[in-house]
């Protein structure tokens, strides 16, 4: 029996595949230090868990609105206003089962068969496959250190319908400055393109200003904002995210929800309401923890001959340059050191020569991982 090319031709997620390898290795008795997963490894605050369990006991176990609970949509809109200054009515917010589904919902609404979507790289491994699931064609563009507006413009064809922007960037942690975002908005206006803006890591901004295309009227009119509770509150397994859309368009996105997952469970949404109410208490602590880990890891890695690493200003990743054989380096660290990472080339050709390390382990394990990497570098240096 034949399977559809939309699934048989999909490339597996490199990050998920590595997570499964680590899980299997641990089951076999190996003590792997996992620096590969996008899970921040934050224990969900007990008050958030209590909200969900109370909602379950109170009978919140049935269908709810496919758009999302009004109270949570209102809280998401208020959070967005504080973060970027973008004003959304609660009716412009769609509550989704995680940020990845928000991305897929956005693309399903704007991509038709054969349409092209510009994707700066290195970038999240799911952008291309989600575009392909919609029948579209991802157009990867190498933009490691900046969004090159001339390169974007040169890649536009009559089939181009959208540009994906991600800030802070997964895997590098780079935060897009205002001038780059403004240039993309102007380009999108000239060519009548959508901007799909993934801001999943924006709450973990350690310094500077977070800039977003939806912050201006021109950008807001053509931007679909993908967000998530996963990284901010350690709620990866809860599958809770959101999509903010220009006013008056929500019904089309709602129909995709109705005919796919229908709705996010009500008890999960009630937990999300409590999470947002605890934002000012919890998130600064998480930022401080991850910033300290990034500073430590970057300093240790940068001291290794042949490795260059600078601590980014957001998120919980570092993206050191390790030389051209990034996949071999990542494999060697796993096989020889029991330290899991993800090759930079998994995030597109522009990421080649780097590895992504997720600092989502304990401080003690992070120090141990750095010690192991440093010892291996010393041994290899001595043998040359």
> Pseudo-torsion of CA 361, 265, 125, 235, nearest 10°?
-20
Distance, CA of 212 to CA of 86 (rounded, Å):
9
| pLDDT confidence of residue 190 | 98
Strand, helix or coil for residue 231:
helix
Q: What is the CATH number assigned to the segment(s) 46-279?
A: 3.40.640.10
Q: What pLDDT score does 136 carry? A: 97
Distance from C-alpha of 146 to C-alpha of 177, rounded to nearest angstrom: 9
Residues 266 and 55: beta-carbon distance below 8 Å = yes
Each of the 384 residues of the chain gets a pLDDT tens digit; together they read 999 998 998 888 888 888 888 888 888 888 999 999 999 989 999 999 999 999 999 999 999 999 999 999 999 999 999 999 999 999 999 999 999 999 999 999 999 999 999 999 999 999 999 999 999 999 999 999 999 999 999 999 999 999 999 999 999 999 999 999 999 999 999 999 999 999 999 999 999 999 999 999 999 999 999 999 999 999 999 999 999 999 999 999 999 999 999 999 999 999 999 999 999 999 999 999 999 999 999 999 999 999 999 999 999 999 999 999 999 999 999 999 999 999 999 999 999 999 999 999 999 999 999 999 999 999 887 766
d(CA 112, CA 92): 23
pLDDT score of 20? 86
Q: For residue 14, what pLDDT is reported?
A: 82
Domain assignments of the chain as residue spans, ordered by start: 5-44+280-378, 46-279
Hey, do 5-44+280-378 and 46-279 end up sharing a CATH topology, with the first three levels equal? no
| pLDDT value of position 258 | 96
How many angstroms separate the Cα of 368 from the Cα of each of 31, 297, 329, 363?
A: 12, 11, 18, 9
What integer pLDDT is reported at residue 384 of this predicted model? 62
Cα–Cα distance measured from residue 318 to residue 32, given in angstroms and rounded to the nearest whole number: 19
> Which of left, alpha, beta for 213 (phi over 0: left; psi -120 to 50: alpha)?
alpha
Q: How confident is the model at residue 13, as a pLDDT?
A: 86
What number of other Cβ atoms are within 10 A of residue 249's Cβ? Answer: 12
Nearest residue to 98 (alpha-carbon basis) of 215, 320, 329, 268 = 268
Query: Does the predicted model carry a pTM greater than 0.85?
Result: yes
Structure-token match 């950008």, residue found: 219
Dihedral (Cα; 43, 45, 51, 56), 10-degree rounding: 10
- Report the mean per-residue pLDDT for the chain: 96
CATH code at 5-44+280-378: 3.90.1150.10
Please state, in angstroms and rounded to a whole number, the distance separating the CA atoms of residues 303 and 150: 36
């Amino acid at each position: 029996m034949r399977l559809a090319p939309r699934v048989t031709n999909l490339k597996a997620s490199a990050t998920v595949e590595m997570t499964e390898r680590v899980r299997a290795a641990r089951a076999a008795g190996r003590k792997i230090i996992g620096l590969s997963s996008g899970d921040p490894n934050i224990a969900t605050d007990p008050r958030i868990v209590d909200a969900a369990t109370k909602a379950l006991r109170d009978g919140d176990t049935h269908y709810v609105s496919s758009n999302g609970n009004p109270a949570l949509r209102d809280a998401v809109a208020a959070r967005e206003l504080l973060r970027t200054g973008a004003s959304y009515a609660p009716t412009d917010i769609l509550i989704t089962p995680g940020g990845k589904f928000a991305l897929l919902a956005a693309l399903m609404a704007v991509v038709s068969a054969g349409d092209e979507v510009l994707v700066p790289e290195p970038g999240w491994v799911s952008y291309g496959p989600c575009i392909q699931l919609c029948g579209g064609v991802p157009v990867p563009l190498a933009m490691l250190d900046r969004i090159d507006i001339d390169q974007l413009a040169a890649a536009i064809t009559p089939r181009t319908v959208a540009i994906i922007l991600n800030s802070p960037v997964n895997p590098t942690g780079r935060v897009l400055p205002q001038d780059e975002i403004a240039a993309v908005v102007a380009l999108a206006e000239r060519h009548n393109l959508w901007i799909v803006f993934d801001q999943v890591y924006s709450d973990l901004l350690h310094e500077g200003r977070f800039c977003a295309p939806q912050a201006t009227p021109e950008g807001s009119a053509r931007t679909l904002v993908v967000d998530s509770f996963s990284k901010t509150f350690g709620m990866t397994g809860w599958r809770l995210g959101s999509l903010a859309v220009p006013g008056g368009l929500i019904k089309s996105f709602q129909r995709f929800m109705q005919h796919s997952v229908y709705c996010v469970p009500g008890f999960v949404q009630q937990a999300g309401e409590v999470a947002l109410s605890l934002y000012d208490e919890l998130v600064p602590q998480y930022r401080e923890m991850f910033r300290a880990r990034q500073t430590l890891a970057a300093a240790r890695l940068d001291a290794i001959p042949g490795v260059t690493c600078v601590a980014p200003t957001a998120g919980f990743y570092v993206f050191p340059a390790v030389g051209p054989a990034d996949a071999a380096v990542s494999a060697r660290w796993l096989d020889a050191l029991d330290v899991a990472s993800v090759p930079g080339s998994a995030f597109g050709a522009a990421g080649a020569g780097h590895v992504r390390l997720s600092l989502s382990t304990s401080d003690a394990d992070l120090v141990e991982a750095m010690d192991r990497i440093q010892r291996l570098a010393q041994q290899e240096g001595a043998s040359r």
